[in-house]
Amino acid sequence: MKLGKIEKWFMKRSSHVERTINRADRLLGFVEIKPNHKFLEVGCGSGGVSRHIAEKHLLNVTGTDLDPELVQLARENINNSLDIQFLEADSTNLPFEDDHFDIVLSFGVMHHIPNWLGALDEIKRILKAKGYLVYFDILYPKFTAWVGGFFKHKYGITTLQGLNSFIEKNNFSVIYSSLSKSLFLRHYEAVYRKD
């Protein structure tokens, strides 16, 4: 699902990009990063996190997004000395070979994807064995998920139970996870390793 104008405005704000970069840096502290690792950001938006990762870690970085406007914006801000590219791609049908990436980052994307399990299947497919999935998103408590179920054709109604079921069935190890709760939503971050 493509973002609306208000969501795009919010995503492009420097304060949002800075918070996202700080979260990525903190969670990447749980990952064994090696030079020339292949890194993918699914749902890269305007590319701020991908650029930061390429600059800080000197990785081979790819950012994908479904929105051509955001991909174009990300491409306009590339430093030519970096090993980085931005592509328009659907996260449920990624244009990469199996076992291609060492690290995949997905921040705030799954709740925009009605077929979020299909997107996770694609991430699993393109992630190398012993590769890492760095994840942050909204999770819905049972009642909110039930109400949200009426909108599941437009949004990804992700629950902790559904995510944990996917992780267990697909032989991912949990390296780190944290859940913060509010009345209607939960924010969840995790680092997984594909075994």
Q: How far apart are CA 89 and CA 108, in angstroms?
A: 16
| Tokens 């921040």 -> residue | 107
* pLDDT tens per residue across span 97-125: 999 999 999 998 998 888 999 999 999 99
Domain spans, the chain: 5-194
- How is residue 80 written in tokens? 């030519």
DSSP string across 40-82: EEET-TTSHHHHHHHHHH--EEEEEES-HHHHHHHHHT--TTS
pLDDT attached to residue 81: 79
| Mean pLDDT, rounded, for 7-20 | 70
Average pLDDT of the residues in 6-24: 75
Answer yes or no: are the C-beta atoms of 20 and 48 closer than 8 Å: yes
What would the mean pLDDT of 124-137 be, rounded to a whole number?
97
pLDDT score recorded for residue 146:
45
- Does pTM surpass 0.85? yes
- Please determine, for residue 14, whether its predicted confidence score (pLDDT) is greater than 70: yes
Residue 147 has pLDDT above 50, yes or no: no
Architecture of domain 5-194: 3-Layer(aba) Sandwich (3.40)
Percent of the chain scoring above 70 in pLDDT: 82
Q: Which residues contact 105 (CB under 8 A, 6 or more apart)?
A: 24, 39, 40, 41, 42, 49, 53, 133, 134, 135
Q: What is the DSSP letter of 2?
A: P
State the pLDDT confidence band at 8, using cuts at 50, 70 and 90.
Answer: low
Q: Which of 153, 106, 156 is nearest to 126 (CA)?
A: 106
Average pLDDT, the chain: 87
Cα separations (Å) of 139 from 3, 142, 150, 181? 19, 10, 16, 9
Phi, psi of 193 (to 5 degrees): -120, 135
26-85 pLDDT per residue, tens: 999 999 999 889 999 999 999 999 999 999 999 999 999 999 999 999 999 887 878 999
Tokens linked to 35: 């030079």
Residue 145 banded pLDDT, cuts 50, 70, 90 = very low
